[in-house]
Amino acid sequence: MSPTKSSRARRDVVRRNSSRRETTYPCIILGAGCAGLSLVWNLLELGFDEPILVVDRRHRFENDRTWCLWDVEPTPFSDLATHSWTRWVVHDGHHEAVAACPEYPYLRIRSADVYRRVLARLASAPNVTLALGCPILGVRETADRVEVATSGGEFAGLRVFDSSRRGHQIASVGTGRRPASLLQHFFGRTIRVDRPTFDPSTPSLMDFRASQADGPHFVYLLPLSETEALVENTYLFPFTPSADRHRREIAEYLCMRYGLHPGSCEVLEEESGAITMTTASIPDATGSRVTPIGLAGGAARPSSGYAFLRIQRQARALALRVAAGDDSGEGGALRPLGSRKYHFFDAVFLRALADRPDLAPRIFAQMFERAEPAAVVRFLGERSTLLDDLRIVAALPKWPFLTAAVRSAPDWLPPPLGQHPSGGGPIPPARRSTLGEA
């Protein structure tokens, strides 16, 4: 790190709500993204008043993410939604499946609005210290505490919640008995055009009118108005496309779909990310005092990549444990976010996609077209009934999923029947991402 960057980092350290640095913090949260801020928000809501340190490498908060969810249950941030849709489309490359569900609208939340709400709360919370400009260099657990090394100095905590790690190193999706895993890459541009172009009433969740040569590839489009939209280029495969490739393919899609040329589109914002879609075990960071959270803690739904709602559930559950003084020594052990029912469905769904990626457009289109929309939404939100589950199964192609159910059995059968052979264990520890902390 250069002297300029180093001095700037140290100026950012402990710049809020604290005139001194604690010797040992009862609670340290690594990463001030969605997961970290949701956890500290829930802790404060529950009246937790012990010192909390939140560490993040960023120097400022920007609108760097768009979070979407179906409104199947309240969250602390649902009221911040800037847009709400009750109908949506999926295009498999040949025809369009349209679904409508007034009961569970699809919400769009800007990260900047969540940051603003949580930061305002932190500013009035004397027990919270926000350390910005502090890239995390290492985490080491000792007998009685956790030591966190950052570019701005070292901190010690009794328990650490770590959202800064990423599961980019995933299991192979080829032959073998590992749980199937996919890596979802997305790159989005919020654009403005000079003529009415988009239908503001209907987002496109998946449009497979894109090259499938490298694996499942679709465009996701949220119409913010007739002249503004968020357009995301999305791939499901294990290598990372360049930003230039994403930009080029977004431009090609807009030209094909709407007759728009690059010169007619003003780019307002860009965002990008990568989400591991897997049912494999997420390894603990270092031991019983460190708990991975957010994407690092497996919060993304394995079969879809949706994470915001699961992060809220995870943050609430962990905050309840901390506020209740849970010092059972199981801090590093996360309870599964979904039930065994959803683990089964996710394992089979991922195996079907991994074995037959060419069927991805058909699979998604049939699910949205043939199943009752409210059943699909409840299933995706992990709130489905048995009847909902049967409707989903009936909507999907049978033979690929029967084959996938057999091949994925070591993943979804309960131990010891479902124990994987050597090579089928947890995902290897991930390298740090350059995409921001979730």
Residue 257 belongs to domain with CATH number: 3.30.9.10
Report the pLDDT value the prediction gives residue 417, as an integer from 0 to 100.
Answer: 54
Half-sphere exposure in the Cβ direction for 73 (13 Å, CA): 11
Ranges of the chain with pLDDT below 50: 1-20, 166-176, 284-286, 328-333, 419-438
The answer to whether residue 311 sits within a structural domain is yes
CA neighbor of 238 nearest in space, from 279, 274, 187: 274
Report the pLDDT value the prediction gives residue 395, as an integer from 0 to 100.
Answer: 96
| pLDDT, tens only, 206-245 | 999 999 998 899 999 999 999 999 999 999 987 789 999 9
The answer to whether residue 90 sits within a structural domain is no
Q: Which two tokens stand for residue 342?
A: 């959803």
Report the pLDDT value the prediction gives residue 337, as an integer from 0 to 100.
Answer: 60
Pairing state between β 128-131 and 66-70: unpaired
Q: Could you tell me if 301 and 153 lie in one domain?
A: yes
* pTM, two decimal places: 0.86
Q: Could you tell me if 226 and 292 lie in one domain?
A: no
Range of the domain at 405: 340-412
Rounded-to-10 torsion of CA 240, 429, 55, 38 = 80
Q: Could you tell me if 157 and 187 lie in one domain?
A: no
Report the pLDDT value the prediction gives residue 238, as an integer from 0 to 100.
Answer: 76
Q: Which two tokens stand for residue 169?
A: 């190193």
Instruction: Specify the DSSP element, H or E, that contains 359.
Output: none
Q: Could you tell me if 43 and 185 lie in one domain?
A: no
- Exposure of 160 by Cβ count < 10 A (0-12 exposed, 13-18 middle, 19+ buried)? buried
Report the pLDDT value the prediction gives residue 237, as an integer from 0 to 100.
Answer: 81
The answer to whether residue 79 sits within a structural domain is no
Q: Could you tell me if 251 and 205 lie in one domain?
A: yes
- The answer to whether 148 and 28 have CB atoms below 8 angstroms apart is yes
Q: Could you tell me if 17 and 154 lie in one domain?
A: yes
Report the pLDDT value the prediction gives residue 336, as an integer from 0 to 100.
Answer: 53
Dihedral sign for Cα 212, 214, 216, 220, please: negative
Mark residue 259 as left, alpha or beta (left: phi above 0; alpha: psi -120 to 50; beta: remaining): left
Residues in the chain: 438
What distance in Å separates the CA atoms of residue 238 and residue 247, rounded to the nearest whole number?
19
Report the pLDDT value the prediction gives residue 389, as an integer from 0 to 100.
Answer: 96
Q: How many domains does the chain have?
A: 3
Report the pLDDT value the prediction gives residue 433, as an integer from 0 to 100.
Answer: 31
- The answer to whether 8 and 59 have CB atoms below 8 angstroms apart is yes
